[in-house]
Amino acid sequence: MNSLKDRIEAGDVRLAVIGMGYVGLPLAIEFARGGIDTTGIDVSAEKVSQINAERSYIGDVPDSDVAEFVEAGVLRATTDFSVLTDADCAIICVPTPLSKTKDPDISYIVAACDEIAKYAHPNMLVVLESTTYPGSTEELILPRLKVDGAEAGREFFLAFSPERVDPGNETWTVRNTPKVIGGMTPACIEAAAALYGYAVETVVPVSSPAVAEMVKLLENTYRAVNIGLVNEIALICDRLGLDVWEIIEAAGTKPFGFMPFQPGPGLGGHCLPIDPLYLSWKMRGMNYETRFIDLADKINTSMPQHVVQKVQDALNEQGKATKGARVLILGVAYKADVSDVRESPALYIIDGLRRKGAKVVYNDPHVAQLRLESGEELSSVELTDTELQEADCAVVVTAHSAYEWERIAYKCTQIVDTRNVLGSCV
């Protein structure tokens, strides 16, 4: 029988992608585009139904792509994990959130691993893409596959390859973003690299899964710490009466030794607010304090409350109290031109303003309904002239390109701009 790597290189394998969210669905599409027979597995019957009905629920994946590959018979979805029996390769793309105490919640990874273990068979490749702490692949997945003395690199193959999805980025996609891969053995790396060659243009092999896990954490910790720094500079400039945006723009003219980051209302999305804390948690267990990470997290998580205070100050300038004031939130997605509200600072800003008695409404062209932590649902209001004029204060949280900033600046009586989109309009 040919080796798994030989069969992968011949395109004679079946792939299962576990988790059909912002990472899993785009990845499954690229493998299907590369000609690999791909089955998506998800516990959500709704997601499975939409894929099989040739519809996408991810902004970066058009319906036409789903339809093309479903009709071609190279893409399908199911809630039934038993399809792993016939899968040669399985990629885990499940969520890795934080608990209320900011400890890693690896329950989704464990659940996926347990399902794989039920149907694991010789010569199978398993790859974890979900972001987690260094050592997770070896600690969580390896023991579940190492049954009856089976050895990684011989009876089965195991690797970690961190996702690098950037929702809304039309320049860097799954296919052209380099893919880091760390395998348990050289044979594991070779098998995983051969598989990912169907979905990505460039593979970057590293020496182990732990190295690949740490690469992902370094990438997002780098961003989170630098955003924390520039957010603190923004707070300092606010107290000094200086324009932080002018300062960043001027500093950015230096051709060496400086990279501009932008301040904002806080961090959002599944990566930046969460990934560095996986590393912080891991090191606490080794009696080491991650001071940069912890301080950056403290600053970044304080920014929504800073915005609430700015709204209070803006209302005070008009002689109005926060209680009873109508506040219009412009944008609730965590970044521009996407519909993703995971960890969005808008959620914390809305909650902070409501607790102070403000009547909060929101508009977002990409988010029709918003569920608050309390379980209450809000609906996006139409951005009419009347809505803009009746707001005692508008808050720019997300700089969607669909917004007409000059119109907003002209119609609103008071605006708190956390994204510096109105500088040329007012």
Q: Is the pLDDT of residue 149 over 90?
A: no
SS3 75: strand
Q: What is the pLDDT of residues 36-79, one digit of tens each?
A: 999 999 999 999 999 999 999 998 999 999 999 999 999 999 99
More confident residue, 162 or 426: 162
- Check residue 72 and report its DSSP letter: T
Q: What is the pLDDT of residues 383-396, one digit of tens each?
A: 999 999 999 999 99
Q: Which pLDDT value is given to residue 400? A: 97
Mean pLDDT of 8-14: 96
C-alpha atoms less than 13 angstroms from C-alpha of 9 in its C-beta half-sphere: 9
The answer to whether 331 and 398 have CB atoms below 8 angstroms apart is yes
Q: Which CATH class is domain 4-207?
A: alpha beta
Confidence band for 371, pLDDT divided at 50, 70 and 90:
very high
Q: Do domains 4-207 and 227-417 have the same CATH topology?
A: yes
Which residue from 60, 56, 85 is spatially nearest to 69, judged by alpha carbons? 56
Rounded distance between C-alpha atoms, residue 66 and residue 40, angstroms? 12
Q: Which residues pair with 416 in a beta bridge?
A: 395
- pTM (predicted TM-score): 0.92
In the chain, the amino acid numbered 386 is T
Q: Which pLDDT value is given to residue 424? A: 56
The answer to whether 32 and 69 have CB atoms below 8 angstroms apart is yes
SS3 182: strand
Q: What is the pLDDT of residues 292-318, one digit of tens each?
A: 999 999 999 999 999 999 999 999 999
- The helix-helix angle for 63-71 and 24-33 (nearest 10°) equals 50
CATH architecture of the region 227-417: 3-Layer(aba) Sandwich (3.40)
Q: Output the six-digit token pair for 357.
A: 């008695």
Rounded distance between C-alpha atoms, residue 338 and residue 320, angstroms? 34
Which residues are catalytic, by number?
A: 271
Domain ranges of the chain: 4-207, 227-417
SS3 379: strand
End-to-end Cα spacing for the chain:
71
Rounded distance between C-alpha atoms, residue 333 and residue 276, angstroms? 21
The answer to whether 103 and 281 have CB atoms below 8 angstroms apart is yes
